[in-house]
């Protein structure tokens, strides 16, 4: 049986500096979406990478006295390391300087040209030789010395250069029709509305080549031009699937199910990219989802570490799953959000240590002490047992619905509502009091709690893969019994199965200075 495919991508980052928290946020969220579909039985392809061409890279390289290639060689490994440190489950990491990508870009260019959508014209504007960039009139200033300056303080001159253009204007009606017929093409709704009104207001043809520098993919047949970086960058999504070979192993993943991007680059993904694809005769992605921006709320994150903004330090300080949980739960995906030490520590201690961690620790220690370290006897399930078990199972359906529209926070909230309910169940049934009065009932309550924990741990895997795996280990759930298909009744814990000694999975976050140890 062939499984349903699911192709998901992040934007590819400019490696003109070290990865920052925005890059980490996008990767963590996309990873959770990818893991969810994988656990749900889909054949998933998850892509991330770096966008190494273009003027941004050149300008930073120049400032640092490097070539753009050397800058990319220096910084891209940091993005690759970030993917590892964040536990990203990406299937490939694409770099736009790779040979496979040059081939794909030249092929899509030829396809668009073959369709009559590329023509040679001229591009003019205020150009800074030093910045190698064009600026809008409003970004420049004519000073008293009679010279016009750009926003970086470098002189600009009026330049007209030969440039290839893409006939974007010809796609206005087709794009509007596509948005109309595919209401889920752009999410969230605010971004969709912005794009629809932008396209309605009229599209101008797009300059898609440059002759003032050579850091890019050469235009086929006219190598003094390099492609505009966004033609090159967007094409990465099909390069990784083997384009132009549409008969290869990976082509089955096209069209993408969702491109996850930040809100500042929605226009490129929801207007230019579908127009390029229509022109090249390729199917369009099913959805483009724009997340919000993350801001550091100003405060020092911790006295001992200073202002923690880089993802590596954040993970080292709070723990990987703690950071993943915080970003995914705290910020409604699609909206802007902020982070601060208080907010992160608060979430870790309230949700993870107190709610989920305590439930696991209390019930598993009771089992170790009172049930011979084995999965307790199940007995006859009473109404409250059946109710909480059903709630844990229902969180899967809620998660599916939410993750289908990238509402990661809602899927995670559905899991933690069950955690809260399971705590009420455990307190209400008070197994410690049953130990003397009704030991059989105590075992049933502990069995039910352990089984609820098993379901919750399976459901937590997309967001907190490491901690969820440790919890499943404590419940002696075999590695092959951890998918969403294993949540239901047919796969319930088997009484009498030996369990490893319990160990805490979600420690409280305590700052070094609070313990008096300093650092
Ligand atoms: O835009 N919060 O690269 P990039 C959340 N190379 N997300 C943020 C953010 C923040 N503070 N800052 C940036 C590019 N992002 C292009 C993409 S795709 C074919 C080419 C997001 O390194 C940003 O919105 O500037 C984008 O989705 C991603 O990080 C990479 O940004």
Ligand 1: centre distance to CA 121 (Å): 30
Q: What residue ranges in 25-147 does DSSP mark as E strands?
A: 43-50, 92-95, 118-128, 133-135, 141-142
ipTM of the complex: 0.99
Q: Whose CA is closest to 459, among 482, 426, 492, 493? A: 482
Pocket probe mutation, ligand 1, options 15, 26, 272, 408, max atoms within 8 Å of Cβ: 26
Pocket probe mutation, ligand 1, options 8, 11, 273, 296, max atoms within 8 Å of Cβ: 11
Q: Is the CB of 23 under 6 A from ligand 1?
A: yes
Grouping H, G, I as helix, E, B as strand and the rest as coil, residue 310 is coil
Pairing of β 294-296 and β 337-339: parallel
Nearest alpha carbon, ligand 1 atom 8: 22
The set of residues, in sequence order, having a beta carbon less than 8 Å from that of 141 and lying 6+ positions away, is 148, 149
Q: Is the CB of 233 under 6 A from ligand 1?
A: yes
Atom of ligand 1 nearest to the CA of 261: 27
Per residue of the chain (519 residues), give pLDDT as tens. 789 999 999 999 999 999 999 999 999 999 999 999 999 999 999 999 999 999 889 989 999 999 999 999 999 999 999 999 999 999 999 999 999 999 999 999 999 999 999 999 998 899 988 777 788 899 999 999 999 999 989 999 999 999 999 999 999 999 999 999 999 999 999 999 999 999 999 999 999 999 989 999 999 999 999 999 999 999 999 999 999 999 999 999 999 999 999 999 999 999 999 999 999 999 999 999 999 999 887 544 443 444 447 899 999 999 999 999 999 999 999 999 999 889 999 999 999 999 999 999 999 999 999 999 999 999 999 999 999 999 999 999 999 999 999 999 999 999 999 999 999 999 999 999 999 999 999 999 999 999 999 999 999 999 999 999 999 999 999 999 999 999 999 999 999 999 999 999 999 999 876 554 433
Ligand 1: centre distance to CA 13 (Å): 6
Ligand 1: centre distance to CA 11 (Å): 6
Residue 98 preceded by cis peptide, ω within 30: no
This prediction has a pTM of: 0.95
Q: Is the CB of 22 under 6 A from ligand 1?
A: yes
The phi-psi region of residue 306 (left if phi > 0; otherwise alpha if psi is between -120 and 50; otherwise beta) is: left
Look up residue 439 and give its two tokens: 């030991």
Atom of ligand 1 nearest to the CA of 50: 6
Ligand 1: centre distance to CA 412 (Å): 24
Nearest alpha carbon, ligand 1 atom 12: 22
């Amino acid at each position: 049986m062939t499984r349903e495919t699911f192709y998901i991508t992040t934007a590819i980052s400019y490696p003109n500096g070290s990865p920052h928290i925005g890059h980490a946020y996008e990767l963590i969220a996309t990873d959770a979406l990818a893991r969810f579909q994988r656990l749900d039985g889909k054949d998933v392809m998850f892509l991330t990478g770096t966008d190494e061409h273009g003027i941004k890279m050149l300008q930073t390289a120049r400032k640092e006295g490097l070539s753009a290639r050397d800058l990319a060689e220096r910084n891209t490994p940091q993005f690759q390391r970030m993917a590892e440190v964040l536990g990203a489950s990406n299937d490939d990491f694409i770099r736009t300087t790779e040979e496979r990508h040059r081939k794909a870009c030249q092929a899509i260019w030829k396809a668009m040209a073959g369709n009559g959508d590329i023509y040679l014209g001229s591009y003019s504007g205020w150009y800074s030789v030093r910045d190698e960039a064009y600026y809008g009139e409003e970004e420049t200033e004519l000073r008293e010395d009679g010279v016009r300056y750009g926003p970086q303080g470098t002189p600009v001159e009026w330049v007209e250069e030969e440039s290839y253009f893409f006939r974007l204007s010809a796609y206005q009606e087709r794009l509007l029709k596509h948005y109309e017929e595919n209401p889920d093409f752009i999410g969230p709704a605010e971004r969709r509305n912005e794009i629809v009104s932008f396209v309605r207001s009229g599209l101008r043809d797009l300059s898609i080549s440059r002759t003032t520098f050579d850091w890019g993919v050469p235009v086929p047949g006219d190598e003094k031009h390099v492609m505009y970086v966004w033609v090159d960058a967007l094409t990465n999504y099909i390069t990784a699937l083997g384009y132009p070979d549409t008969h290869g192993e990976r082509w089955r993943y096209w069209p993408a199910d969702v491109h996850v991007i930040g809100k500042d680059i929605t226009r490129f993904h929801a207007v230019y990219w579908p127009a390029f694809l229509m022109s090249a005769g390729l199917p369009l992605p099913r959805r483009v989802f724009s997340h919000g921006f993350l801001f550091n709320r100003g405060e020092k994150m911790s006295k001992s570490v200073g202002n923690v903004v880089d993802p590596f330090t954040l993970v080292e300080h709070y723990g990987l799953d703690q950071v993943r949980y915080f970003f995914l739960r705290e910020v409604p995906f699609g909206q802007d959000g902020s982070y601060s030490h208080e907010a992160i520590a608060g979430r870790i201690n309230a949700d993870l240590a107190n709610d989920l961690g305590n439930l696991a620790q209390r019930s598993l220690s009771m089992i170790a002490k009172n049930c011979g370290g084995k999965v307790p006897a199940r007995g006859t399930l009473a109404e409250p047992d059946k109710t909480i078990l059903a709630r844990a199972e229902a969180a899967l359906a809620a998660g599916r619905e939410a993750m289908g529209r990238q509402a990661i926070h809602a899927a995670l909230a559905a899991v933690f509502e069950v955690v809260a309910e399971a705590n009420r169940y455990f307190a209400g049934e008070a197994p410690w009091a049953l130990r003397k009065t009704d030991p059989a009932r105590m075992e049933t309550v502990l069995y039910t709690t352990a089984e609820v924990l098993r379901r919750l741990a399976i459901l937590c895997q997309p967001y907190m893969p490491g901690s969820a795996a440790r919890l499943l280990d404590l419940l002696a759930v075999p590695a092959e019994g951890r998918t969403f298909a294993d949540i239901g009744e047919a796969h319930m814990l088997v009484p009498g199965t030996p369990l490893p000694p319990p160990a805490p999975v979600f420690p409280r976050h305590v700052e070094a200075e609070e313990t008096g140890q300093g650092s």
